[in-house]
Amino acid sequence: MLPIPFLVLLLSSILSPSSAADFCAADLSLPTNPAGFSCKKASTVSTSDFVFSGLGAPGNTNNIVKAAVTPAFTTQFPGLNGLGLSLARLDLAIDGVVPLHTHPAASEVLLVIQGSIEAGFISSSNTVYYKTLSEGDTMVFPQGLLHFQVQSGSTPAVAFATFNSPDPGLQITSLSLFGSSLPSHLVEKVTFLDDAQVKKLKKVLGGTG
């Protein structure tokens, strides 16, 4: 028979330093650095750090884009900290659209769960890759490239996006241009858009300047 104490002795000598490497559930109360959040002490980590239930319910699509994005990033899901991946749920009502955007810090794979979505991205050489995706289809959007998702067909759509970063970022082009304080004359100069167009959309999207 194997005597427990000796084995425990073995364990205590070799396992204590290693547990730090397993995971690093985020302590959201401390400052971040480029590698992410500080780790909670191991003794305060529990299963709830590794399980997130917020993607089960549809987001509220009762808005102008008829779309909702529900993130499961580090802030919502502390167990992801340092592990290099995250998710988001996408709900698209009829005519719903996720406007043109980029994720500065991650590539994305979209997985359609319900309905149809016309999705695409544009490369640096201005080649467009797009397709109408059906249930079960997946599409990859390489890091930092402009892409979009538009509801298609006759039913609302649900999809999940997965990212290779716990904090992928999200920059919506039209909100950057027309929902920010970038002065109109600069917007026009750097996009070739007409003054009337810029001012019209600034009014709608809350931009100033």
Interactions with a copy of itself, residue window 22-81 (CB under 8 A) = 22-24, 27, 30-39, 41-42, 46-47, 50-53, 55-57, 59-60, 62-65, 67-77, 79-81
What is the nearest approach in angstroms of a copy of itself to the Cβ of residue 86?
8
**Distance between CA atoms of residues 149 and 134, nearest Å:** 12
Give, rounded to a whole angstrom, the gap between the first and last alpha carbons of the chain.
79
Cβ 144 vs Cβ 121: under 8 Å: no
Q: Which is nearer to a copy of itself, 43 or 154 (CB)?
A: 43
**Under the criterion CB under 8 A, does residue 155 sit at the interface with a copy of itself?**
no
Could you tell me which residues come within 8 angstroms of residue 152 by beta carbon, excluding any fewer than 6 positions away? 115, 116, 117, 118, 132
* Residue 133 CA to its chain's centroid (Å): 19
Q: Which is nearer to a copy of itself, 113 or 154 (CB)?
A: 113
* Strand partners of residue 88: 71, 161
Q: According to the annotation, is 185 in a ligand binding site?
A: no
Q: Which is nearer to a copy of itself, 154 or 207 (CB)?
A: 207
What is the nearest approach in angstroms of a copy of itself to the Cβ of residue 158?
10
**Distance between CA atoms of residues 15 and 19, nearest Å:** 7
Tokens of 53: 């239930």
Cβ 118 vs Cβ 150: under 8 Å: yes
Q: Is 6 helix (H, G, I), strand (E, B) or coil?
A: helix
Q: Which is nearer to a copy of itself, 5 or 154 (CB)?
A: 5
What is the nearest approach in angstroms of a copy of itself to the Cβ of residue 4?
5
Query: In the set 94, 142, 156, 199, which binds a copy of itself (CB under 8 A)?
Result: 142
Interactions with a copy of itself, residue window 86-115 (CB under 8 A) = 86-88, 97-100, 102-109, 111, 113
Q: According to the annotation, is 103 in a ligand binding site?
A: yes
**Distance between CA atoms of residues 81 and 28, nearest Å:** 10
Place of tokens 């994305």: 108
What is the nearest approach in angstroms of a copy of itself to the Cβ of residue 37?
6
Interactions with a copy of itself, residue window 156-195 (CB under 8 A) = 160, 162-165, 167-182, 186, 189-194
Query: In the set 130, 156, 184, 199, which binds a copy of itself (CB under 8 A)?
Result: 130
Of residues 66, 131, 117, the one with CA closest to residue 95:
66
Q: According to the annotation, is 101 in a ligand binding site?
A: yes
Annotated binding site: 101, 103, 108, 147
